[in-house]
């Protein structure tokens, strides 16, 4: 029994390597006009299919369906150039239980044969989507844009109209200082009000930023880092509103961390700015 399991594990590993290799060829081979109609996409010529996919996701998000059609064209062209035995072997990945006797993986009826390409293509799409997501998350721009948004957010909070509960009682000059004070020394209730104000501001702001910034910010969130449930989506990302929701959580966590490390006197204990 252990030997049988080891054999299936080996075949699965070998299948994974096959898929990874073919997907790499599909994504990184130079685009050739004769195999990919519409190479001059939006007036731009791309060196590889991966470059084209990343461009469309970041700059022409609403036209991804057209790009997806081209991805399938390339995949089907690849499968049509493979031998029948290789295609049959690739199809083994599409069967949930490789040890099941329900399917004879290498003896298909002719009317079923054409469906194998679709199942295999869908597996290719998942790997391609993961490669696209990895490429997006590897960009240094993601962390840079996060830092920029946090810096801007602090300035924006400072500029919030301020008539906070501590004004007049303590030497607090703006909304940011009130936020820092309530976070470090407050009783919680007033802090919740401040966080609601910041959250509302972020939601309003993010509704109007370009999709590429939303995507790059989303790649910094825990949702993106730890959950891979979107690799079957096309494009492989949640809806814009869902991305914004997780970006807001991320920015709130980061701005709270920044505020917790910003010096603010404990005015309630008699401290003042001169005591720093």
The domains of the chain are located at 2-137, 140-275
What's the predicted TM-score (pTM) here? 0.82
Report the distance separating Cα 257 and Cα 255, nearest Å: 5
Q: Give the Cα separation of 41 and 94 in Å (integer).
A: 32
Q: Give the angle subtended at the CA of 189 by the CAs of 185 and 191, to the nearest 5°.
A: 55
Alpha carbon 74 to its chain centroid, in Å, reads 24
Report the alpha-carbon distance of residue 84 to residue 14 in Å, rounded: 18
pLDDT value at position 103? Answer: 42
Cβ-Cβ contacts under 8 Å for 117 (sequence gap 6 or more)? 76, 79, 80, 87
Contact 175, 157 (CB under 8 A): yes
Q: What is the per-residue pLDDT across 103-120, written as a single tens digit (0 to 9) for each?
A: 444 444 444 457 889 999
Residues 173-207 have pLDDT tens digits of 899 999 999 999 987 888 999 999 999 999 999 99
Which pLDDT value is given to residue 44? 76
118-148 tens-digit pLDDT: 999 999 999 999 999 999 887 788 999 999 9
């Amino acid at each position: 029994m252990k030997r049988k399991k080891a054999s299936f594990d080996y075949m699965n590993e070998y299948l994974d390597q096959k898929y990874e290799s073919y997907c790499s060829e599909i994504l990184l081979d130079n685009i050739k006009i004769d195999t990919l109609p519409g190479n001059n996409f939006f007036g731009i010529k791309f060196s590889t299919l991966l470059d084209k996919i990343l461009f469309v996701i970041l700059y022409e998000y609403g036209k991804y369906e057209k790009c997806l059609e081209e991805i399938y064209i390339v995949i089907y062209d690849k499968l049509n150039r493979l031998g029948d035995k290789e295609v049959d072997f690739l199809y083994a990945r599409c069967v949930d239980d490789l040890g099941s006797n329900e399917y004879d993986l290498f003896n298909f009826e002719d009317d079923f044969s054409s469906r194998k390409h679709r199942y295999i293509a869908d597996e290719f799409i998942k790997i391609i989507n993961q490669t696209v997501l990895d490429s997006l998350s590897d960009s240094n721009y993601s962390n840079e844009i996060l830092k920029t948004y946090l810096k801007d957010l602090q300035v924006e909070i400072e500029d919030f109209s301020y008539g906070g509960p501590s004004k007049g009682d303590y030497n607090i000059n703006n909304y940011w200082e009130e936020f820092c004070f309530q976070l470090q020394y407050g009783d919680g209730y007033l802090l919740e009000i401040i966080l609601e104000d910041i959250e509302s501001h972020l939601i309003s702001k993010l509704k109007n930023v370009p999709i590429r910034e939303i995507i790059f910010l989303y790649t910094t969130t825990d949702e993106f880092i730890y959950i891979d449930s979107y690799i079957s989506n096309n494009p492989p990302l949640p809806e814009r509103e869902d991305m914004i929701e997780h970006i807001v959580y991320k920015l709130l966590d980061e701005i709270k961390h920044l505020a917790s490390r910003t010096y603010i006197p404990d005015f309630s204990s008699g401290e003042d700015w001169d005591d720093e």
